[in-house]
Chains A and B, each alone.
Chain A
Amino acid sequence: MPTITRRAVVLTVWLAGLALLTVWNGLNLRLGTDLSQFLPPGASQQDRVLLSQVRGGVAARTLLLRIGGEPPTATSAPGDTEALAAASRSLAARLRGDDSVTQVINGELTLATSAPDAVLFGYRYLIGPPDACVDALAAPALHAALEARLAELASGVAMLDRPHLAADPTACYRQLLRSLLPSQVPNRQHGVWFSPDERHALLVVVTAARASDLAVQRRVVERIRGDFAALPQSAGLRLELAGPGYFAVSSEQRIKTETVAFSLGANVIVVIILALAFRSTTLVLLGLLPLLSGVMVGTALVSWLFGSVHGITLALGSTLLGVAMDYPVHVYAHVAGTGASYAKPIWRTLLLGMTTTVLGYAALAWTSLEGLSQLGILAAAGLITAALTSCYLLPQLIPTSYRLPEQRWPVALQARLPHWSPRVGAWLLLASLTGLGLVLLTQGSPWETDLRRLSTVPATEIEKDSAIRAQLGASDVARLLYAVADDEAGVLERLEAALPDLRQLEARGLLAGSDNLARWLPSPGAQQARQAALPERASLAATLAVANAGLPFRLERLAPFLDDVERARHLAPLRTADLANGPISTRAAMLLQPFDGGWLGLVPLAGVNGEAAVTALQALATRHRLQYLDLRQGTAGLLTGFFNTTLEKLPIAALAIVLALALALRDRSRLGRVLLPISIAVALTFMLLVLIHGKVNLFHLVSLILVAGLNIDYSLFLDRPSSDAAERLRTLFSVTVAAVPTFTAFGMLALSAIPALHSIGLTVAIGSFLAYALSLLLARAEPIG
């Protein structure tokens, strides 16, 4: 077969395969954004509760909305509050009809002003506050209640309760509704929630789906925006959203947009440099094949193994695969014009570099964190694919007539560059490690354990989220008490027992409030005790007659009251399942959930006031067999665990790399020359990151592994012994052409507003530059002979 035809066939077959893989990925790729995939699975019960809340708890399903004037400025006067309130009402009314939204709260008194709920009204004597319900049925209390109702009747007070006065003369239901009100509510103006400065109307939307269910979250966010835009009142007003679900949607878009933008930018740089270096459009285009193949194979494999690919995995994985951009450069520099069917002159070095880098990535795959496992597998599979593509496919596609253009700068660089001895390198390593040690001593633990800082959300968005939460006076959903028991009754009993102590903490100012389900859903035992205290019909009728002495009530008209109390005596205790589809079903489902084959009861805490409050809450938890949980501290603990786990495995991976290199090189001095630049570059980059950012996060750490991978390639290639001066120049040429686009492209990425991309960009830009420079100085092979 003629060479040109063979090339065309090989290229067509490969492109067809790549296209099929791309289509498969397009059809099957589900992008995840659940940050908790980067948290350990959780060994203890507390870890599992923590993760269940981080992943699907109330906080993870809450969207925060605020409506303000356009444009908002710090010095502008408060907006037209009536217009803002009207927009808030209209938007809430529209959203309440959406099935994907379980609750819309904007301060309107919907529950108090709607018709009584049949279940709650029927059960009021079993679940309502005892002083207005079961304890109000004795003659003196009943007399006082009748007097109060008479006064209300005369003055018109409580006219809304008038239709059920005959059935509820003690106003038990009214008091039950009062107990359902949250312990803290925001500032209200015109009947809806407002920020304290009255510039924004505030709403809270609870979605049915968790934040990580991107499809539903995107639909909800679009629906909210669409409904707002369609409001007649929305002209001149601005809607802002915050909360995990919104961040998930917006960061997905943001990751896509910025990744595309930076990839384009980086590709333009790479293309320009490759075009300048090789002066061949064909080679530039072919050079993209290994990376594309690697990304597609890696993504498909992770997608197939895990069912979805985390957004961060994809972003970091593509980053780690950046190493693969170097392979075509080496192949072109050493193979072009030789007519070889594979990368004969460099295949050992290239595959050795790939193998050692894959060993480094294997450390990531070999963890219990799903997100990181995905990352390791994607990067390793992608890199193997890219290396094999470069080694065995590219040489067949290089036009036979192609010749490497003459370049003068490698000669000049080779002549002027000093050559540092291993001894200088060892001193440099010692100095770097000493510097790093000093920095760590002064800075303390270098690990970033705040999960929020791992976020792909820009700092401005996080600040907006915090601002809205502060304006809402929102319950600090990061802190809670919880109880786990085999059944619902067991959970409720523990929560119930804690009620008096919680009230005491509130009275002492240690706690602003708490949402304890047992306040309005007593345990079955407590309900039965109240039931037992309810008088029989005849007895209650007699008591009512005594209580009405001197009052003008017609006793026969109060028969519904006697009927309801009698009915309540025979009811089965109310359970959360009975509240389904009722006005408080969502809230009940949030506070009491199936968990680990049993039940989990949550008590979100608001305004935990300092260390004294934490101590008191921990003591309270111990007394009542509850647990106190601080989600932020908890996730920080888990992240610390992650760092420790990863750091434990990195030395093993490093050892494996050293062993692989030792086996392949079989030369201690060469091994030293290859390892010295890597060690110095990683130590210096780590030190600089701590100095610049204060902390080292997950993205920094992963990027450092990439730096090590890049450095191995630079050192291995530069260190290849050769008696051929031209060959040594080709190596210098290929390493430089590979390195310059790397630190330029990642330098661009460091400009990103997304913390993750910024961290990666900065680390790789610094690290790859140091790696390149140190490899030139320390690992460059001397001429043989």
Chain B
Amino acid sequence: MPRRGRHSVLLGHAASLIFLGLSLCPTQSVATSRQPVDAQALMNLLGRVKRVEVAYQETVESTLIDIPLGTRGRLFYQAPARIRRLSDQGDGFELDGERMRLISSGRVVNEFMVSDIKPLEAMVGALRATFAGDLATLQANYQLDYQIDQTHWSLDIGSREGALSGLFERIRIIGDGATIETIEILEPNGDQRSLRMQLLAREPVEIN
């Protein structure tokens, strides 16, 4: 593992990659007829997922550019905190607990702790708590807004006391039952990232 001088350059990988990784954890393509009644019910449901693999498509809309940018790839999640995400170009990351390994063109180029990057830690904390079904942590650190309609639920996670400041203004997670279908991240400058997922495999299979 290289230990010299590259941390600062590659740290930025972490934020978006973590976002991509964690957002895809519990997902499936089959909708249920009835959504969790409240955030606690949703947390209970999501927390039961042990392992999942999805294909993703990410779209970035930025005020800096005229056209949206898109990437595709695969993501693997294993409870409680192991995630590997690789784009079709071989770029991505592996997250194991607090340890983050950045991957470029298929090889590890850097390793660091998520807690080294406070804004990133804040985001990882929000998404981890969501997928671990830890409502208490979410309520303690973020502003939550849970909504349901006939076909979907949505959970808005907002900044409280600057916890997400700098990188994110709001995270919106949209799903159907135990399936997370979309995660949208709105940045303070108006840029938006949207991630759509398609389930490839999941354990336990009976969750829906």
Binding site for B on A (CB under 8 A): 82, 85, 89, 108-109, 111-113, 115, 150, 152-163, 165-166, 174-175, 177-178, 181, 183-185, 187-188, 190-192, 552-554, 557-558
Q: Is the CB of A157 within 8 A of B7?
A: no
Q: When A109-B112, A183-B4, A190-B113 are in contact, do A157 and B91 touch as well, CB less than 8 Å? A: yes
Q: Is the CB of A187 within 8 A of B3?
A: yes
Of all A-B residue pairs in the complex, the 7 with the closest CB atoms, nearest first, are A156-B16, A191-B113, A158-B12, A112-B8, A159-B15, A154-B69, A160-B12
Query: Is B99's CB within 8 Å of the partner chain A?
Result: yes
Q: Which residues on the B side are within 8 Å of A178 (C-beta)?
A: 5-6, 8-9
User: Beyond the given A85-B113, A115-B166, A160-B15, could you list 7 further A-B residue pairs with CB under 8 A, ordered by the A residue number?
Assistant: A113-B11, A113-B116, A153-B60, A157-B10, A159-B14, A162-B189, A163-B189
- 8 A Cβ contacts from B1-47 to A: 3-17, 19-20
Q: Is the CB of B66 within 8 A of A552?
A: yes
Tell me which of A156, A160, A163 contacts B19 (CB under 8 A).
Answer: A156
Q: Is the CB of A157 within 8 A of B16?
A: yes
Task: Say how far B98's CB is from chain A's closest CB, in angstroms.
Answer: 6
**Chain B interface residue number, banded:** 35 or more
Tell me which of B3, B70, B166, B193 contacts A156 (CB under 8 A).
Answer: B193
Query: Is B167's CB within 8 Å of the partner chain A?
Result: yes
Task: Say how far A174's CB is from chain B's closest CB, in angstroms.
Answer: 6
Please report the C-alpha to C-alpha distance between residue A174 and residue B8 in the assembled complex, in whole angstroms: 7
Map CB proximity to A onto B173-194 as digits: 1 under 8 Å, 0 otherwise.
0000000000000011101010
Query: Is B62's CB within 8 Å of the partner chain A?
Result: yes
Please report the C-alpha to C-alpha distance between residue A160 and residue B112 in the assembled complex, in whole angstroms: 15
Q: Which residues on the B side are within 8 Å of A181 (C-beta)?
A: 4-5, 7-8
- 8 A Cβ contacts from B97-125 to A: 98-99, 111-113, 115-120
Q: When A156-B15, A160-B167, A163-B166 are in contact, do A554 and B65 touch as well, CB less than 8 Å? A: yes
Task: Say how far A78's CB is from chain B's closest CB, in angstroms.
Answer: 16
Query: Is B140's CB within 8 Å of the partner chain A?
Result: no
Q: Is the CB of B12 within 8 A of A152?
A: yes
Map CB proximity to A onto B183-208 as digits: 1 under 8 Å, 0 otherwise.
00001110101000000000000000
Please report the C-alpha to C-alpha distance between residue A183 and residue B5 in the assembled complex, in whole angstroms: 7
Q: Can you sample 13 A-B contacts with CB below 8 Å?
A: A109-B8, A109-B116, A113-B118, A153-B65, A156-B58, A157-B10, A157-B12, A161-B12, A163-B188, A178-B9, A183-B4, A185-B4, A191-B115
Residue of A nearest to B119 (CB): A160
Please report the C-alpha to C-alpha distance between residue A157 and residue B115 in the assembled complex, in whole angstroms: 17
Q: Which residues on the A side are within 8 Å of B166 (C-beta)?
A: 115, 163
Q: Which residues on the B side are within 8 Å of A183 (C-beta)?
A: 4-5
Q: Which residues on the A side are within 8 Å of B87 (C-beta)?
A: 155
Please report the C-alpha to C-alpha distance between residue A310 and residue B133 in the assembled complex, in whole angstroms: 64
Tell me which of A89, A109, A175, A554 contacts B7 (CB under 8 A).
Answer: A109
Q: Is the CB of B63 within 8 A of A557?
A: yes
Query: Is B71's CB within 8 Å of the partner chain A?
Result: yes
Q: Is the CB of A166 within 8 A of B12?
A: no
Tell me which of A155, A158, A188, A553 contacts B64 (CB under 8 A).
Answer: A553
Q: Is the CB of B67 within 8 A of A552?
A: yes
Residue of A nearest to B97 (CB): A82
Residue of B nearest to A165 (CB): B64
Q: Is the CB of B8 within 8 A of A191?
A: no
Q: Which residues on the B side are within 8 Å of A191 (C-beta)?
A: 98, 112-113, 115-116
Q: Which residues on the A side are within 8 Å of B111 (C-beta)?
A: 188
Q: Which of B3, B20, B67 counts the most chain A CB atoms within 10 A?
A: B3
Please report the C-alpha to C-alpha distance between residue A192 and residue B113 in the assembled complex, in whole angstroms: 8
Residue of A nearest to B59 (CB): A154
Tell me which of B6, B17, B60 contacts A154 (CB under 8 A).
Answer: B60
Please report the C-alpha to C-alpha distance between residue A552 and residue B63 in the assembled complex, in whole angstroms: 11
Residue of A nearest to B1 (CB): A188
Please report the C-alpha to C-alpha distance between residue A187 and residue B2 in the assembled complex, in whole angstroms: 10
